[in-house]
Chains A and B, each alone.
Chain A
Amino acid sequence: MGMLMTAMTVLLCIAMIVAAFVAIAGKSLPIAILSAGLVSLVASVLFLVLASPDVAMTEAAIGSGLTTFLFFFVLGRVRKGEHDGGEHD
Chain B
Amino acid sequence: MAELLVYLAATLVGVAFLLALYRFFKGPSSADRVVAFDVLTIVSVTAIALVALAEGRGIYLDVALIYALLSFLGVIVVARYLERGL
Contacts and interface: CB of A to CB of B under 8 A. Distances in A.
Overall SS of chain A's interface: helix
A5 B7 CA distance: 11
Given A1-B54, A4-B54, A41-B44, A57 B63 contact: yes
Contacts of A60: 63, 66-67, 70
Interface string A46-79: 0011010100110011001100110011011101
Interface of A: 1, 4-5, 7-8, 11, 15, 18-19, 22, 28, 30-31, 34-35, 37-38, 41, 44-45, 48-49, 51, 53, 56-57, 60-61, 64-65, 68-69, 72-73, 75-77, 79
Interface string B50-86: 0100110101101100110010011001101110101
Interface residues of B, number: 37
Nearest to A15: B21
B11 to A, nearest CB: 8
Interface string B24-66: 1100001001100100110010011001001101011011001
B73 A18 contact: no
B14 A11 contact: yes
B18 interface: yes
A72 to B, nearest CB: 5
A28 B81 CA distance: 13
Contacts of A53: 57, 59-60, 62-63
10 closest A-B pairs (Cβ-Cβ)? A76-B86, A1-B54, A65-B70, A60-B66, A56-B63, A72-B77, A72-B81, A53-B60, A53-B59, A69-B77
